[in-house]
Structure 1
Amino acid sequence: MGALSSTPYDILGAKKTDNDYQLRLAYRARIHEYKKDRLQNPTNRNVAAENFRLICRAYETLSDHDKRKKYDQDEEWIRNIPLNEYTLQQLAAEPELAKQFKIRLQNVTLRDINAQDSRTGHTALYCAARACNVEAVNYLTEQGAEPDLAQRTGSTALHVSAFYGHPEIVRCLLESGADYRIKNRGKSTAEDESSDADVKQMFTDLKTTPFVQAAADQLDWFKTNISNITQHIDEQYHVQRQTLLHCASKKGYMDLVCWLVEKRSANLDIVDINSNSALHLAAYGGHESVVEYLLNRGANPLLLNKWCMTAEQEGFIHDKKITDLFQSMREQDMFDMAVKGIDWWFEYYFGDKSPDTVNDKGINLLYLACRYGQTLVAKCLLEKGANVNIRLLKESESTPLHGAVYNGHVSTVDLLLSYRADVNIKNKYGSTPIDDARTDEMRQILKQYRANLDGNKFFSVYLFGDGAQSGNEPLAKVQLHYDATYNDLVQEM
């Protein structure tokens, strides 16, 4: 079969009269012979890697109508290709080249991994799946390769693995998020393409699992079966360590995303094996509605994935339609965010703005947050250095503590007091926060705080000698009031 005189038809085990489908059957038979042979002890193998390489070149020639026509006319075809000239797809098609394949994939982007041949539309994953190159398929799916990209006839990697009879590849693809519903140009699903009993059983078994159903957008299935699902909603599935929300966001399944977040409280910011969040995957996929939804629910836009990319940066490939959504979030009215209590906005989008910013009415951010009892926003502003005693520039000249006390926000008052808010400041009307308290509970909180301050107005001063006679022990200890002077210290001594 490897002899120089062998024709592509001889090598493939095909006839000159064979049509495309018959050529595929011949290639499938050769792949299964090679697959079976690779299970043997190396000393007992019959199909050398070089022979399978010729099979690949023969099929490349005969499956391409132009190349086949040229061979039939001139008997010219490309028998050998230098390894450094292999495409990623050609490397993926030969299991013996797994090491070289992984080296080629070092430092490439997801876009490179998902690149499609300009003529056939084949991806590296498609070619690896067809040849049952398990190592390459596993590696590609770990890197986040997209299993649903269709080649020129509309078939996906799942279609070709099913047609070629590789149940182990079918499992890997379904568990990496392949959509079993996709039909090719012949109106066939991947399951329809299979004639292998083991492959059909694999579909039957895996279509009962949550992740595979999420990949197929089966919201009704989830609503019906949720009580029978034993896994936590944030379970990280299979080798990619992706949650159901990852899967739904990656594919743009808006209704399923909403259900997972709103009805099942799915965590927005879990990252997968490549450190991608659901927001990363939605942005990379160009799913505007999902990206906008996740942003409005507070998904963290600052997370970096394996390639040190934010979700916004992953969306650059879609011109401005994704990045504009992130810019819109940054441009939200900060005062409105404070009133509504959108604490994550201040964490993710506030940037280097001053936490003491005031609006055109002289009202500062901290006052608004405290006035409306938005304790988490107030905490965020204080952590960013906001002045806890900042006053309104107009009208009452009240402090944030005045606003929180008057409106009865106990947790906000507790926060302000923990940052040593001054309970004695008077506003324009001569009122302290205690004067503005409208409940006994609030008055008691403030009075107790002030009493504690009064009780802590003394501090200790230790006087030491030169150490020659007294050693490390102090010569004297005196208690001084917080407003004591130097003369008071001398007098105590």
Structure 2
Amino acid sequence: MAAPRISRSTSSASSLTFDDYSLYSNLSEDELLQLAIERSLTDTHISLFVTGSGKRMVAYRRHDGSLVHFCPEPEEEEPLFKAIREGDASRVKVLVMCPATNLMLPSKPGWLAVHQAAWFGKETCLRMLLSQPGMINKRTERGETALLVAVSREHLECVEVLLGRGADPDIPNYDKETPLYKCERSNPAIVALLLNHGVVVNTRCIQGWTALQEAVGQNNVEICEMLLKAGAKHNISNMYGITPLFTAAQSGQLATLRFLLKHADINSQAADGATPLYEATKNGHEQIVELLISQNADANKPGKRGLLPLHIAAQRGSDIVSMLIPVTSKARVRRTGISPLHMAVERNRDDVLETLIEAGFDVNAQLSEEQSQLYEDRRSTALYFAVINNNINAVRMLLAAGADPNLDVFKPLMVAARQGCIQTVTLLVEHGADINATIPTHPTTFPAVYMFSMKYLPMFKYLLDHGGHALSCFDCTYGSRPHPPIKTFCEMISVPSICRWAGPIIDVLLDYVGHVTLCSRLMEHLDSYSEWSSIKEKAPPRPLLHLCRLQILQLVGRRRLKKLPLPGGLIRFL
């Protein structure tokens, strides 16, 4: 093997055993590894084999045939290619003049001596090689000419030599990339050379990109200007419908964007309908957005999904929102079927939400039917998004701005109760959430929010204290007869996940009703645990004091009751 050895003789190293730890304490990890390899190869024999792909390999085996190590067979560099790499012009000259030297023989598939010289920028060697006819436009296995190789490596002198000897500047590689296209490392001198030799400036690569788009991507105004003067078209789009102007906005290239705005349509759209402003917003390029708006870019052109740049900015949570608000039509926003408020709240962008509210966006704007269908729960308001995200700060801001908590089919209050968030429940109830609402698609004979709050007794009691109907929970027409599986309270309380709390739930409810009759289903639950048997004593006849309390509460109302000039203890009792 041609691997480097550690700085001690092989014989002395091989006489040591690995038990002699002290002898290796001063060796590095690399030296220890090399020593282990050398020892493993001691008393081995070498064999050559060829893989299925034709690659020659070397195998090291022990005498018993077990494999120790295998690797590619070392390749010896051809003398001509070695001389070119080292820049040995005299040696190259001798080899070129030698009749036995075949300049058309590659060192690896398609790689000729002329490509080697162009790659390493050996101008003198290149001149000697080009003295032989038929070399100049030969291509590698990737379709690269020596000119394209020299351009990609930015070897100006080699480019001059090749063009001077008649190299074709328009031969592309197999990706259809020409030498002009490959000037992507911002070398104006090479671009000027190619243009002076009549290169075609609007040739497109396999993805439809032109040299101008590549220069824009490098933010090189000088090269862009050279290309436009040479006839480059600024409105040629690639396979995605993207023009150079769009590329500048998308990649945040301020200098080239400012230059192209003198020539191109600021509101040009890509294949998916996106404008430069839309794309700059999506990528968070604030300076680009500011420039485009100052040049009257249309902020009301939607992308393929129907969203405006403002929607995208609200979703990203950037300062771009403040730039876009003054130039975005609220009527156009309404036609999209979704408000920027929805986008901001869905991603918990509280700062953006506050900005949009201050700008006067409607906090009660609802999703269009088409947008609502994208969600399984058919949500429609920004408040619903805030509640389901458990974003209490957003809930508070929306309610303070006038959000109606009763617009969604599945009420935000039910979502908050299901999540067990008493803080959100309190906020919603204080702002008029309908505690007694039902779900149209799943009707019940009792307030639907109870289904989600019965396991949280303090929350359940809070809802009852603030107007939740308790009497409907005992409204069972089946009495002592068998109960069919319908959505009555007594059946709902019988599901396995809730029945373990049936006794305390019935106990709480009885505090909010007068004379009621417990159906057979409720009695069955109360009889299931001996500790619950005392709850049945609350059934009729109810004490007069309890009935009076309920009557006063019904006549006065809960909100007015708290304002009466009565002792605190009496108000709490009522």
Both structures adopt the same fold (TM-score exceeding 0.5): no
Q: Which has the higher contact order (CA 8 A, sep 6+)?
A: 1
TM-score (norm 1): 0.35
TM-score (norm 2): 0.31
Quick check: which has more Rg, 1 or 2?
A: 2
